[in-house]
């Protein structure tokens, strides 16, 4: 399995194919995922690129971190493992708390 890289500070006009072509200069690109907003479909300014090997990933970091791409200085680093988050939306459960007032009668 390859090494996954985090790519930050991307232009909102960057496409996955542009990014894949850039990182192909450092080695084989296994996968490229540009992260988009789920409502608008527009880029959120970062992506993940999976390189074929650790050596290719290290080369990509050395070659592209801090370099200008489409007018922005790229941030390139090894991606951290995804953290587990609790399920649910944090809205709580049940109805509203009425305290000691008991049921309302109208």
SS3 assignment, position 93: coil
Query: pLDDT exceeding 70 applies to what percent of the chain?
Result: 81
Q: Across all residues in the chain, what is the average pLDDT?
A: 88
Is residue 13 within 8 Å of 72, Cβ to Cβ?
no
pTM attached to this predicted model: 0.76
SS3 assignment, position 59: helix
Question: Terminus-to-terminus CA distance in the chain, angstroms?
Answer: 66
Bridge-partner residues for 69, per DSSP?
Answer: 72
| Structure token pair of residue 77 | 């680093």
Structural domains of the chain ordered from first start: 3-78 (3.30.70.330)
């Amino acid at each position: 399995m390859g090494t996954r890289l985090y790519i930050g500070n991307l232009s909102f006009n960057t496409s996955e194919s542009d990014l894949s072509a850039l990182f192909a200069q450092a080695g084989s690109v296994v996968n490229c995922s540009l992260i988009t907003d789920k409502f608008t479909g527009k880029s959120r300014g970062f992506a993940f690129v999976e390189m074929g090997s650790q050596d290719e990933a290290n080369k990509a970091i050395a070659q592209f971190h801090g370099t200008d791409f489409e007018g922005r200085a790229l941030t390139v680093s090894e991606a951290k493992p995804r953290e587990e988050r609790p399920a649910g939306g944090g809205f709580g459960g049940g109805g509203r708390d009425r305290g000691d007032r008991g049921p309302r009668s109208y």
